[in-house]
Amino acid sequence: MIDPILQLEGLSKRYSKDRPAIFEDVDLTLRSGEYLAIMGESGVGKSTLLNLLAGLDTPDTGRVVLEGVDLTTLDDDATTRLRRRTVGFVFQAFHVLPYLSVEQNVALPLDLLGVAEPERGRRTQEMLTAVGIEALSQRHTRELSGGEVQRVAIARALVHRPRLVLADEPTGNLDARSAAQTLTLLRAQIKANAGAGILITHSRAAADTADRIVVLEARGLKALEAA
Ligand SMILES: Nc1ncnc2c1ncn2[C@@H]1O[C@H](COP(=O)(O)OP(=O)(O)O)[C@@H](O)[C@H]1O
Ligand SMILES: [Mg+2]
């Protein structure tokens, strides 16, 4: 196990030459077992930052070191392989595939990693049980409630036991009760996995479920104490 799991050094990103950078001088160290919330106003660049640290986009300056490997030195294929193995994503609910069953959605990351039966089925069932949706395994996700879909998304993000879990506004579409349940579950699963997690949110109540809070601003990340 390589610690820290993630290091960001002097990261900056601009989408266009004639506009100012979205953000500059972003530094961050994320250690094994840490659960971090990143807050910031809408449009400040939270999703952009998440894409950079998962190697889905490249920064203009700086380094993203994931499990000791500088992503900016890897080609696309190598980045994809590292991401599949190391990272689990929880997006807003609509990224779950509506025409697949709950079980098929959750097994997807294992398929991509070439995990075969019976191991694939065993780990999928275990994960469905862990998030409390084992009874829904054969249902299509389009028939589920928002809170149930988000459990599918969490199960899918964690089924391959990634070292780093990234959640981008995972409760944005949920009512307060489902949001609270989802956040509790997400935290518990990240801690059980002994990896690290980053929760992106504009809600202070959501951010307070993390161990530590930082705020993204144009000139970098600023620490904020967790309540
Ligand atoms: N692919 C893109 N091309 C150009 N501009 C973009 C792109 N993605 C995001 N932006 C712009 O970058 C800024 C930050 O966006 P985003 O990272 O989505 O912010 P947040 O997630 O904090 O709401 C916004 O002004 C947005 O319009
Ligand atoms: Mg966003």
pLDDT in tens, 14-55: 999 899 999 999 999 999 999 999 999 889 999 999 999 999
Helices of type H across 87-118: 102-112
Contact 206, 199 (CB under 8 A): yes
- R_g over Cα of the chain: 17
**Per-residue pLDDT, 85:** 93
Q: What are the residue ranges spanned by the domains of the chain?
A: 6-224
Tokens found for residue 140: 């299509």
Distance CA 62, CA 46 (A): 17
For atom 27 of ligand 1, which residue has the closest CA?
43
**12 Cα to the center of ligand 2, angstroms:** 17
**Per-residue pLDDT, 225:** 62
DSSP annotation of 141 reads G
**180 Cα to the center of ligand 2, angstroms:** 20
Tokens found for residue 174: 């949920």
**199 Cα to the center of ligand 2, angstroms:** 11
What pTM does this model have? 0.91
Rounded to 5 degrees, what are φ and ψ at 66? Answer: -110, 120
Pick the CATH number of 6-224 from 3.40.50.300, 3.40.50.720, 3.30.365.10, 3.10.20.30: 3.40.50.300
**Per-residue pLDDT, 112:** 93
**118 Cα to the center of ligand 2, angstroms:** 37
**Per-residue pLDDT, 14:** 95
**Per-residue pLDDT, 93:** 63
Starting at the edge strand that comes first in sequence, how are the strands of the sheet with 196-200 ordered? 87-90, 164-168, 196-200, 35-39, 212-217, 220-224
- C-alpha distance from residue 208 to each of 38, 122, 173, 192, 212 (Å): 11, 34, 19, 19, 8
DSSP annotation of 116 reads P
Q: From the CB of 36, is ligand 1 less than 6 Å away?
A: no
Low-confidence ranges of the chain (pLDDT < 70): 93-94, 225-227
Q: From the CB of 201, is ligand 1 less than 6 Å away?
A: no
For atom 9 of ligand 1, which residue has the closest CA?
48
**Per-residue pLDDT, 98:** 86
